[in-house]
A = this chain, B = another copy of it.
């Protein structure tokens, strides 16, 4: 993983490039923690050699796993970074393109880059906070939460 801040000042924009074998979820969490980015948005394109997408199952209160056990283009990776109980947390959704163009879409649970993933991270000094929702068990974004003041 290589990180470069391409803009400084009130808003910080980072170009982050992942390489073969990298885990982009853990990598982005580390950047967010190291750079103090509590409220950011992320877009990315590239390719994975494998991934697991998720679809939230409200009965089980957990993600149904959708394995993508093949090389695929990362056609859209979109999401945000917010402060959770254990530090910065990521919420990422991905559209993956298979060799015939078939699109598979869902919550990004696992991913292994090959050969590259090019991320733009738009960091904000504001801290967005996630709070556990008692109904679903999900950590939902709570922009008006007092801790965000």
Binding site for B on A (CB under 8 A): 2-4, 6-7, 9-11, 13, 15-17, 39, 41, 43-45, 47, 53, 55-58, 64, 66, 68, 71, 73-76, 78-80, 91-107, 115-116, 118, 120, 122, 124-126, 128, 133, 135-136, 138, 140-144, 148
Contacts and interface: CB of A to CB of B under 8 A. Distances in A.
A103 B93 CA distance: 12
Q: Which 5 A-B pairs have the closest CB atoms?
A: A97-B105, A4-B143, A6-B126, A103-B103, A103-B105
28 contacts: A2-B143, A4-B126, A4-B128, A4-B148, A9-B10, A11-B13, A13-B122, A13-B124, A15-B39, A15-B128, A15-B143, A41-B43, A41-B120, A43-B78, A44-B78, A45-B93, A55-B73, A58-B71, A75-B78, A75-B94, A75-B105, A97-B104, A97-B107, A101-B105, A102-B104, A103-B103, A115-B133, A120-B122
Contact of A2 (B13, B78, B91, B144): B144
Give the secondary structure class of A's interface. Answer: strand
A59 B16 CA distance: 27
